[in-house]
């Protein structure tokens, strides 16, 4: 963040100084909500968590060098205190669930106000460029690609993993300082108005909308409502005359239609002929890595060979390319950066091969119907490649495929239908063994869908938990098999991948993993 005095911070967040001997003392270090990470010159943010109250660690934070604490009550050390807000609900942040008196909500709101003040100062005084990314799936992968292609242009700040809610968003924005040229943020939503609020915290100049799928369908109720929420990003952009740019997926009608909701200049990306940033000549290699020609409306073009896995990464890469073009990169620079970009955030199409040539695709960070289908397609493509370490290709011409699937959360009343459809889709894609992990209605539907779509009723198995899935795999996996592990984050299905990838039987990651 920009250096600010405690008096300036109090004014920005609407708080008051308590136990502060010097109102002109400056915060010059990081802003942290984990007291173990606070350093000299920092500001500690006292939040309520599931197991502790950050106010109890205020003295520790100051002892480690924090200049002050952002708090909802006096804490006996220098503090900027904001009044509790029991009327304020901050969904998706993790704080509201343990915040009966509204102190956590007040501190979160203050954190957002502080981030807004810092970003505004950096934009005005240092030319900071802010990029926002949203969509039902692919936000994190695209954010990572954007950060990669912008890195040659100067220092970039982007969130680790999917730190994209009311806590992670301002925390990331406060990582930007006077040296930062580009701030790349992803914006998530579980309801109407969430993205609008995040966009107010760090107002973007460039906004990217990837897709409108079925993630969080239970909260929104319909795809149209999801589109309404995602489009709040383009509504928040400045007008074209002020530099605003909306980058929209030309291949997704609900996204391209958002052009009517913004006064920013619109850039379409995709494989459609109407896209200004376009992929042509698309090919997938044996590891489901895409190659294509990047074509730009002004006539520039360059060859791109992605090292990340899955055909769905093409749209993500095109969005990143469009952002980089708007930030001053040329087509050759962008193609080189995209080709060199590796996966950064964990448990997202992380492809590793064991010493016995069993390949494990750990895509267990999250799941929705669209991302499930994309991951299954990628696995099926990869199954046509030769196994490693001298293991022969099976006579049938492809490696045995295993889909270890857990529940897709937040689908509401459509959960049973969507899980049934996923089971049927996996069988139609010729996945040879579908292991359904869990014992609720959704997983029963996935299992029954696979069984009903199959020919021999042995395409699927229903197991109660991770331990049972691991036991089944350890008994039946053969050298050269390929395994996809995917579910919503709350399922914790990465434990299956971890069990399969012990140090004793794990080889190096695939290129680009």
CATH number of the domain at 27, please: 3.40.1390.10
Could you tell me the residue range of the domain that residue 30 belongs to?
A: 4-108
State the DSSP string of 373-420: HHHHHHHHHHTTSPPSTTPPPPTTSS--EEEEE----S-GGGHHHHHH
Largest CA distance in the chain: 78
* pLDDT the model gives residue 299: 74
The answer to whether 431 and 372 are in contact (CB under 8 A) is: no
The number of distinct structural domains making up the chain is 3
| 449 and 307 housed in the same domain | no
Q: Is residue 281 part of a domain?
A: yes
Same domain assignment for residues 362 and 499: yes
- Are residues 137 and 256 both part of a single domain? yes
CA 327 to chain centre: 22
Mean pLDDT by 10 residues, the chain (513 residues): 96 97 96 93 89 90 96 96 76 52 87 97 97 92 95 94 86 97 93 93 97 73 88 98 98 96 98 96 91 92 93 95 96 95 82 93 90 94 89 90 94 92 95 95 95 82 95 94 94 94 54 30
pTM of structure: 0.85
In the three-class reduction of DSSP (H, G, I as helix; E, B as strand; rest coil), residue 135 is classed as: coil
* 134: in domain: yes
Which of 42, 76, 108 is the last residue before a domain boundary?
108
Tell me, yes or no, whether 314 and 379 share the same domain: no
Do both 381 and 489 map to the same domain?
yes
- Is residue 371 a part of any domain in this protein? yes
Residue recorded with tokens 């509201």: 96
Q: Do 305 and 397 sit in the same domain of this protein?
A: no
- What is the reported pLDDT for 215? 64
In terms of domains, do 145 and 102 share one? no
Integer CA distances (angstroms), 436 to 400, 407, 452, 464, in order = 17, 8, 14, 8
Among residues 378, 375, 384, 383, the alpha carbon closest in space to that of 405 is found at 375
pLDDT confidence of residue 48 = 81
Task: For the chain, state the CA radius of gyration.
Answer: 24
Q: Looking at the structure, tell me whether residues 14 and 151 fall in a common domain.
A: no
Residue 465 burial (CB count, 10 A): 15
- Which of 340, 361, 383 is the C-terminal boundary of a domain? 340
Residue 48 within a domain: yes
Same domain, 80 and 180: no
The pLDDT value recorded for residue 507 is: 43
Q: How far is the C-alpha of 30 from the C-alpha of 23, rounded, in Å?
A: 18
- Pick from 51, 73, 108: which residue ends a domain? 108
Are 179 and 215 members of one domain?
A: yes
Is 121 within the bounds of a domain?
Answer: no
CATH code: domain of residue 418:
3.90.190.20
Same-domain status, 390 and 321: no
Residue 227 included in any domain: yes
Instruction: Judge whether 237 lies within some domain.
Output: yes
**Whether residue 504 is found in the same domain as residue 480:** yes
Residue 86 forms part of a structural domain: yes
| pLDDT at residue 7 in the model | 98
């Amino acid at each position: 963040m920009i250096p600010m005095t405690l008096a300036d911070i109090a004014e920005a967040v609407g708080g008051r100084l308590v136990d502060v001997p010097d109102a002109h003392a400056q915060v010059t270090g990081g802003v942290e909500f984990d007291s173990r990470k606070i350093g000299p010159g920092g500001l500690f943010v006292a939040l309520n968590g599931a197991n502790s109250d950050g106010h109890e660690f205020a003295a520790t934070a100051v002892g480690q060098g924090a200049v002050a604490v952002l708090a909802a009550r006096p804490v006996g050390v220098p503090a900027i205190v904001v009044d509790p807000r029991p009327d304020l609900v901050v969904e998706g942040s993790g704080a509201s669930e343990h915040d009966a008196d509204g102190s956590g909500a007040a501190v979160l709101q203050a954190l957002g106000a502080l981030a807004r003040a810092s970003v505004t100062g950096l934009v005005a005084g240092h030319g900071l460029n802010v990029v926002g990314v949203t969509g039902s799936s692919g936000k994190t992968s695209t954010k990572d690609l954007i950060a990669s292609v912008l890195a040659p242009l100067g220092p970039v700040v982007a969130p680790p993993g999917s730190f994209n809610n009311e806590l992670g968003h301002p925390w990331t924005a406060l990582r930007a300082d006077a040296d930062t040229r580009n701030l790349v943020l992803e914006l998530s939503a579980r309801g109407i108005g969430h993205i609008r609020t995040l966009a107010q915290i760090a107002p973007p100049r460039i906004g990217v909308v990837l897709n409108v799928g079925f993630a969080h369908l239970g909260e929104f109720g319909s795809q149209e409502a999801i589109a309404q929420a995602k489009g709040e990003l383009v509504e928040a952009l400045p007008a074209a005359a002020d530099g605003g740019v909306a980058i929209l997926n030309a291949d997704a009608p609900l996204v391209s239609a958002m052009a009517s909701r913004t006064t920013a200049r619109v850039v379409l990306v995709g494989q459609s002929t109407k896209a200004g940033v376009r992929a042509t000549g698309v090919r997938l290699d044996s590891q489901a890595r895409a190659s294509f020609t990047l074509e730009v409306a002004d006539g520039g073009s360059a060859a791109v060979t992605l090292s990340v896995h899955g055909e769905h990464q093409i749209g993500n890469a095109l969005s990143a390319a469009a952002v980089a073009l708007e930030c001053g990169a040329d087509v050759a620079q962008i193609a080189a950066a995209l080709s060199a970009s590796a996966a950064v955030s964990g448990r997202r199409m992380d492809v590793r091969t064991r010493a016995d040539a069993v390949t494990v695709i750990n895509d267990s960070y999250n799941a929705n119907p669209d991302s499930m289908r994309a991951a299954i397609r990628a696995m099926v493509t990869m199954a046509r490649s030769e196994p490693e370490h001298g293991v022969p290709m099976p006579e049938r011409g492809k490696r045995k495929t295993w889909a270890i699937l857990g529940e897709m959360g937040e689908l509401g009343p459509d959960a049973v239908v969507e899980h049934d459809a996923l089971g049927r889709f996996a069988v139609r894609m010729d996945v040879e063994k579908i292991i359904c992990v869990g014992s609720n209605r959704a997983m029963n539907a996935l299992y029954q869908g696979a069984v009903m779509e199959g020919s021999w009723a042995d395409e699927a198995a229903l197991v109660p938990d991770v331990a049972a899935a691991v036991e089944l795999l350890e008994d039946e996996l053969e050298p050269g098999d390929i395994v996809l592990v995917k579910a919503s984050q709350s399922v914790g299905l990465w434990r299956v991948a971890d069990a399969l990838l012990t140090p004793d039987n794990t080889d190096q990651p695939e290129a680009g993993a």
